[in-house]
Structure 1
């Protein structure tokens, strides 16, 4: 990046009071040697795949313990005396010499608030991993533990085992799907699948008429082995072998679902070329899982259709699992279907700069990096994915359009090596389904000994009655977080607690016509907000409203 561009970028960052992140760091002076050294090392390792990392020396960060504000620049800046600029730069250069291999950086002087400061612009290099030296650890003025530092969000630290492995792969430029398979050859690729792929992607007639060998070379599916002879690349095996799992273990999808009428789980495996797996998994969902109701408003006579889960959401998340799987790991893509939720699980994390936190909070991923680049291009050509980095947005939008709860991405820590997204059932659909199944009617017949007709009328009256005027101000404020059916469910839970503070989760679930899991999710949210408190044990305790 050019010097003028770096200074312009620095000005914009300070003027906007940008918060520290995975490429911005503020330091009051060059005396904070351990902090500058480990941050420069981390920016060089570029774990989050950024274009550049900037350390601002002479700019203090806010740390207001009363307001909680922190990690933004103090204005006006503290700055560096002009007479100390040269000696400060020399100090920084000597400090950064403690990183090996030598890192690529530049120093820039700038002025803001009529005061000088220094920008350390660290560019990612190709020679890493970079690490701080033992000499710096022994130096009492530095005292930084030697190691390969990384930057994640605002945290500069030594990597955990998973992150260390990813860092080594990054600098080795290792992509499993781009490597030659250990045993598969051209003979193990299906010529008919190759021709079908070219037909579906509207390839030129001369390419579609090629021999199998010529076609494989044109598509870069094969390469020369170091032992002689042609070998198929791993992405070619995944895309065009009849049984990829024979060469790449666990290269398939399993859908695990609750067996109807039992407490057991049953599974169905989808194998074959992974682009066909993606199509088959989506078709299975549409044929066997997806359901809907047309619901008519008794007052306006207007009707709307609601699905248990929208097909677009399922297609996007299932395809994403297949596309972003780390195929070197012996774990299959797992899709778990329960009565009230679907969980999609991959046994690897998203590639930085995307994080699990981002996936929960954002809808656009403009600078996304791909683990399986060749597969990404082929899926795009097959229209299995649309614009790059937009699948999560379409899945979230589909859930919102259906009135469904938000998708939940996990885990929230940096250590567990998996990605799971859970899609909860539409609550309106679940309510109608419960009524159709007659579960609540049977429960009330047993409890009250009334006729089916009277019980149905009683249930309808009780479920729709919500005494919101009895709710506290805190509860009413909490309800403002919801609209429509979700608000109605929250109101029913609060109403149940208002009527009986010893009410059980099972009783609340019946009252609100949702699952126990949904009730637990709402109660957790209410407790975190401060609207509800649980006192005592799960069996003998009580609910308190605030």
Structure 2
């Protein structure tokens, strides 16, 4: 990056009082040697795929326990004496010598608040992984454990096993879908699927009329192997082989459904080219799972339609699972259908800088990287994705329009190597469905009457009633929430999260657990929802 751009960026960060993150850190001086070395090493490794990493020397971070302000620059800055700038820069150069391979960096002096400070700007490296050496560990003034440091959020640390693997793969520039398949050749690709793809993407007529070999070469599907012949690339196998999982194990989608009224599950496997899988899974959901009610409110004209789950949400999340799967791993894409929720599971994480927390909190993902670049382009050409980085936004919007609970992304830790999305059923749909089932089944009607009598006539508190209904371990998890409903009459999701001390995703699961007992209901829209005892 150019010096002028770095200085302009630095002023924007300091003037905006930007909080420390995975590419910004403030240090009062260069005396905290171990912290500076490991942060610089982490910037070189650039685990979160940022443009540059900035260490500001001479700027202290706030840590005000009364106001709670933390990790933002103190203004005016503490600064560095002009006479000590050269000494500070030499100290920083010396500290960087403990990192191998040699980092690419800029040392810039600047002035703000009429005081000098130094910017250590680390360019992301290409020769890594970068690591600190044993000298820094043996030096008693530094005492930094040797290793390949990474920075996630504001935490600079050694990577766990999953992160270490991703780091090695990143510097090896390994993309499984771009590699040649071990056994598949041109003969294993379907000429019919190749031509159908070209027709659907409006390719020129002369391209559509090419021979299979010329067409495969033009689309970069093959390459000549060491001993002659043409081997197919993995993305070509996924897109155009009749059964990709014959060559790439577990390259399929499995929908596993709960059998209503039993403790059993049934499954349906979707094989074939992955773009065909995406279409067939969508149609299966539309025909076999999606349902709706038309609701007319008394005293009002018109009606509204409510779905158990909106089609657009399912379509976006299922397609995302297929597009973003790490196909080198021997696990299939699983979509689990329960009576109260859908669960989408991929056995890999999103690529940094996107995190699970981002997926829960954000709707736009402009700065993102793709695991399967060729597949992304082909899915876009087939209109299976509408624009890059917008699928989550559309899925969330579809759930909101339907009045459904928020999507929940998991796990809420940095170690488990999977991505899960939970989509809970629309509560109005679920309520109507129960009412309809009660009309058809007298036994369920009697059970509902018993529940109503228990609620209306019993003097028991809610926690006493639910203790008889919930499993002991589940009851203990939600007891704090139940106590608030008993004493205050209702509780909001934010207050529930404060009470149980869990993440937002876990709190939503707890609240849905209470609703599913039939003794707790929710009222209001997503933004002002409250949970109370059913009367």
Question: Which TM-score tier does this pair reach, normalised by the shorter chain?
Answer: 0.7 to 0.9
Q: Does 1:223 pair with 2:184?
A: no
The answer on whether the counterparts of 2:99 and 2:132 sit within 8 Å (CA) in structure 1 is yes
Distance 2:47 2:309 in 1: 36
Tell me the distance in 1 between the aligned counterparts of 2:196 and 2:161: 42
Q: Is the 8 A contact 2:254 2:332 kept in 1?
A: yes
Shift of 1:371: 0.3
The structure-2 alpha-carbon separation of the partners of 1:300 and 1:441, relative to structure 1 and needing over 3 Å to count, comes to farther
Offset at residue 250 of structure 1 (A)? 0.2
Aligned to 1:14: 14
Q: Report deviation, 1:68.
A: 2.5
The total of aligned residue pairs comes to: 490
Q: Which residue of 1 aligns with 2:446?
A: 445
Partner residue, 1:39: 39
Residue aligning to 2:315: 315
2:211, 2:67 → 1: CA distance?
70
Alpha-carbon shift at residue 501 of structure 1 (Å): 4.3
Q: Check 1:182–1:496 CA distance in 2 against 1; reply closer, same or farther (3 A cut).
A: farther
Alpha-carbon distance between aligned partners in 1 of 2:359 and 2:496, rounded to the nearest angstrom: 24
Deviation, structure 1 residue 229: 2.7
- Output aligned runs, 1:4-153, within 5 Å: 4-153=4-153
Paired with 2:336 and 2:374, the residues of 1 have a C-alpha distance of 28
The answer to whether the 8 Å contact 2:223/2:232 transfers is yes
Q: What CA distance in whole angstroms lies between the structure 2 residues aligned with 1:527 and 1:15?
A: 37
CA distance 1:53–1:266, change in 2 (3 Å): same
**Cα distance in structure 2, aligned partners of 1:349 and 1:530:** 30
Q: Structure 1 unaligned segments of length 5 or more: list them.
A: 450-454, 466-494, 509-515
The answer to whether structure 1 residue 292 and structure 2 residue 292 are counterparts is: yes
The 2-side partners of 1:207 and 1:496 are apart by 76
**Compared CA separation, residues 99 and 446, structure 1 to 2 (3 A):** closer
Cα deviations across residues 385-432 of structure 1 (Å, max 9, x unaligned)? Answer: 011000000000000000000000000100000000000000000000
**Cα gap change, 1:497/1:396 in structure 2, threshold over 3 Å: closer, same or farther?**
farther
Counterpart CA distance in 2 for 1:220 and 1:186 is 11
Per-residue deviation, residues 165-189 of structure 1 (Å, max 9, x unmatched): 1001101100000000000000000
1:125 is displaced (CA, Å) by 1.4
Deviation at 1:497, TM superposition (A): 10
Deviation at 1:210, TM superposition (A): 0.3
After superposition, residues 350-429 of structure 1 pair within 5 angstroms as 350-429=350-429
Note the C-alpha offset of 1:21.
0.5
Are the equivalent residues in 1 in contact too, given 2:480–2:500 (CA < 8 A)? no
5+ unaligned residues in a row in structure 2: which ranges? 483-490, 502-509, 515-519, 521-531
- Which residues of 2 match residues 529-544 of structure 1 at below 5 A? 529-530=498-499
Residues 505 and 520, structure 1, Cα contact 8 Å, conserved in 2? no
| 1:503 match: secondary structure | helix
CA RMSD of aligned residues (A): 2.8
* Cα separation, 2, equivalents of 1:79 and 1:231: 61
Q: Aligned pair 1:246/2:208, yes or no? A: no
Q: Note the C-alpha offset of 1:118.
A: 0.3
Tell me, yes or no, if the aligned pair for 2:463 and 2:479 is still in contact at 8 Å: no
2:485 corresponds to: none
**TM, length-normalised to structure 2:** 0.87
Corresponding residue of 2:497 = 528
Determine whether 1:177 maps to 2:139: no
Residue 502 (structure 1) shift: 1.6
Contact 2:270 2:281 in 1 (8 A): yes
Counterparts of 1:229 and 1:215, CA distance in 2: 16
CA contact (8 A) 2:38 2:149 kept: yes
Work out the CA distance in 2 between the residues paired with 1:419 and 1:384: 21
Distance 2:126 2:382 in 1: 33
| TM-score, normalised with respect to structure 1 | 0.85
1:470 aligned partner: none
Write the deviation string for residues 22-74 of structure 1: whole angstroms up to 9, x where unpaired: 11011110001111111111001010001100000001111122333211111
Q: Distance in 1 between matches of 2:224 and 2:332?
A: 29
